[in-house]
Chain A
């Protein structure tokens, strides 16, 4: 009789322990599964927003209520969005490292003077503190979409210092080359401008390679594209004075009944 009671107790304890381990394990697995599901739903919405914004050839913006906080990372290979795990994206993203609550996305195609890439600018409800003494930077912020402009705070003294002096972009005292207002916006909104500029240079170089190959084909029409190509190559060194010359040379080609390069 006593042996039976012992057996019952041992049985209950062993089964209870197994059941407890099972339910705790299930709870953890289920939580992980739900997080993954939410992450995919979020990435899906983000991708939809990217595509919708890109369907316009103009600068457009939208906002997204975030089910999860996420971070934007930039390394040598690509930009990535990190929620619970890393998801590489094919886009150039100018953003703070960590985005919380509400995401505002602004899209601007970089076409200066020819299309190079799309740039996405991110900001969240918290906004960004910027210190500047450049009127140029303040004017550019004024031209941003309303939901971005209102989140850039110039009053704080401990924000990122962004100035434009003599065609150089100066971020926290370090001088960088830049090409176009799009990169000044990137310097304002991105926590990692050097990495963004490297990716931009790669895209710009790809575009120049594409147009070099195109010009080799167009030469069959008897036109000479050497001048415009040499100016395009100067863009790789962020020589902004080449932009006007490229535009003029492309117009000259059209006036000579040659196929336009871009």
Chain B
């Protein structure tokens, strides 16, 4: 969700990083979907300060790495990493299993569980992926966890944040600014905007759909059952429709039911027969009492 279910949300994300030169789907109108962080006037201001739109250069990789670190710092300042080495290792192992099957296994993939009761997950440029303790509590098996992590990994690989930044007018490399103060200020504005998107606003529907579609593909290529991801999204959809969900989801993304329909269709296209690891028992063992 990268997204956008604030509060009972699930998956807020920004994935500016990914320097991967491939895209798994169209995302041409990212800006139109990206009403958050760096869109609008703020984005225009940043764009001008960085040299204005129209230049084709992209952010340098160092800038993207710094952006990922900054988003991760913002998320973990608000939601500290849980002090549970075994749980963090377990989530990281699931994440690395997926990363290993991705197009970018040599990336800087980092995972952690953060202390929040919200059902949410976050991703930042350069492979920083964080999932809340509350999200783990809503899950029933390892493949559900893999689905959420695959969704976040897909945001990174699909360069959603970077595309949004470009659409906001930030098409010139920060390196083009020779004045360090100017550069630092411009970077700060951009990082704050992205962090706000990750923590509060979320992505647009098109990015969510794209990350869902790619998550299903990644789960299959890894060997996890994508139906578990569908089940999790379906439960989120039901929760959104319930009195409990409605009270919590005033600002949240309303589209879980529609997303579930698309995920179901995607699974039927790619893996009509049920297959893949589910690992309910291992998940229960590793998350018991957490």
Specify whether A and B are partners: no
**Taking beta carbons and an 8 Å cutoff, which residues of B are in contact with A?**
none
